[in-house]
Structure 1
């Protein structure tokens, strides 16, 4: 606060009124609808990229990746970071996506 503001409240002896109570903040651990849609898209992409891996394994890997970012304050990049972490985990487990051919 600016010094003048502090001096003003001390001088008058009044305490500033508290703001109206706000709606409860959303739980930082619960994903928003955009993240849920991104997670579904990530699962679909990874299931296509790793067809030899069981669908439940891919879903669990993506869920674990999102869970690792549960406390992140900046949520904008969570979907891409979770997908990268999921791909890395699937690759480390020995699953390799099919080779991409360039040209005929």
Structure 2
């Protein structure tokens, strides 16, 4: 199975449902840092649809929803989203 497929599957299965009782709410500063992250990644990956970039960043933040140390969640989420979008970009460029 291709790396991009594994990453895409991992991201889609990592999103909790809105009714997930275990999911911790995001801190307000994390939510504030998500918008600039989306903007940076949209600029870095212009060939990828904006909705896909936003969904990838949201999934990356959800991946760290149970992290006890919250200070590093924004940077870790951005790194995770960049990795996933890099794989998507490779697929998009290969299909062109």
TM-score range, shorter chain: 0.5 to 0.7
Higher relative contact order (CA 8 A, sep 6+): 2
Q: 1:43 aligns with which of 38, 42, 46?
A: 38
- 2:69 corresponding residue in structure 1: 74
Dislocated runs of 4+, deviation >6 Å: none
Runs of at least 5 residues in structure 2 that lack an aligned partner in the other structure: 1-21, 92-96
**With structure 1 as the length reference, what TM-score do the two structures score?**
0.63
SS in 1 for 2:51: helix
SS in 1 for 2:89: coil
Aligned residues: 70
Higher Rg of the two aligned structures: 1
Higher helix share: 2
State whether residues 52 and 95 of structure 1, in contact with CA within 8 Å, keep that contact through their aligned partners in structure 2: no
What do you get for the CA RMSD once the two structures are aligned? 1.8
Shift of 1:28: 6.1
- 1:58 corresponding residue in structure 2: 53
**With structure 2 as the length reference, what TM-score do the two structures score?**
0.68
Mapped to 1, the partners of 2:65 and 2:89 lie a distance apart of 27
